[in-house]
Structure 1
Amino acid sequence: MKNFIFSICIALVLSSCYQVERNCKDFQVGTFEFTYEINGETKTGKSVRTDTLSVDYYENKIDTFTIRWVNDCEFIGRKLHPKDYSDSKPIQMKILSTTEDSYLLEYSLLEDPSTKKRGTVKKIK
């Protein structure tokens, strides 16, 4: 029993020392490629982001968002020209982890955790 408790304590100590890599500043500006799913079909889109704007290209559509960085790893996006009220709701985006050329993103409508989703975004420029 003592060995079991000791093993659990060692595992907790070692796992608490592990930090996920987050070099978010490397992904604040650039050209990105992302995949998304609609009706069970996986599609690819592209996003070009500056400090304050993001232009997204997907399904032969173009959407422009104003963006405001909350911290190095999180920003709020708002459509520049929404078509209706639901289209005007801001989107919260958080970079959870990074690799050399991609990041894991968690996003949802601001203040609506029931819409939370995750995806991987790859930096292409």
Structure 2
Amino acid sequence: MRYFLFALVLFTFSNCYQVERDCTHFKTGTFYSEVTIDNKVYTSNFTRTNDLQVEVYDGKTDSTQVRWINDCEMIFKTINPKNMAAHKDVHLKILTTTDSSYTFEYSYVGEKLKQKGTAYKK
């Protein structure tokens, strides 16, 4: 009986926890992002409208078309790709949100390797 009560309490509390995802708050605006790859932090600033994102990274400006799949997922397509890697579309999924930031994962479309990062609304 004691195991049943323990399992019931554990099950009850595990179902109450729900990750917050209010992605509509982050569809447009000005942001700052951080991505850590191999223990190195990469930062960028970007402004996003419903269908365009302009990003400044390492002193370079890059523009991409944004296509929303749903409220929390989008596809980026580079407007003027300068190399072969830029020809690949990027899939980004918002995993969690707070009132001023979101955690995301992204990868090239069709590839399994995913990176994670955090974006902060300015």
TM-score (normalizing by structure 2): 0.89
1:73-95 CA deviation, whole Å, 9 max, x = no partner? 11001111112333211111111
- Tell me the equivalent position of 1:18: 17
CA distance in 2, matches of 1:38, 1:3: 46
CA distance in 2, matches of 1:38, 1:94: 18
- Tell me the equivalent position of 1:121: 119
CA distance in 1, matches of 2:37, 2:61: 17
Question: Share of identical aligned residues, percent?
Answer: 37
Is the alpha carbon distance of 1:40 and 1:19 closer, same or farther for their aligned partners in structure 2, counting shifts above 3 Å? Answer: closer
- Tell me the equivalent position of 1:107: 106
Computed over aligned residues only, the root mean square deviation of the Cα atoms, in angstroms, reads: 1.6
Moved over 4 A (4+): none
* CA positional deviation for 1:106: 1.1
* CA positional deviation for 1:112: 0.9
- Tell me the equivalent position of 1:92: 91
Secondary structure at 2:81's aligned position in 1?
A: coil
Is the alpha carbon distance of 1:71 and 1:57 closer, same or farther for their aligned partners in structure 2, counting shifts above 3 Å? Answer: same
Is the alpha carbon distance of 1:43 and 1:112 closer, same or farther for their aligned partners in structure 2, counting shifts above 3 Å? Answer: closer
Segments of structure 2 that go 5 or more residues without pairing to the other structure are none
Question: Which stretch has the larger CA shift, 90-99 or 2-11?
Answer: 2-11
- Tell me the equivalent position of 2:49: 50
**What letter corresponds to residue 115 of structure 2 in structure 1?**
K
Question: Which stretch has the larger CA shift, 83-92 or 46-55?
Answer: 83-92
Segments of structure 1 that go 5 or more residues without pairing to the other structure are none
1:5-25 CA deviation, whole Å, 9 max, x = no partner? 432332123212321111111
**What letter corresponds to residue 54 of structure 1 in structure 2?**
Q
Question: Which stretch has the larger CA shift, 18-27 or 41-50?
Answer: 41-50
Give the number of equivalent residue pairs.
122
* CA positional deviation for 1:4: 2.9
TM-score (normalizing by structure 1): 0.87
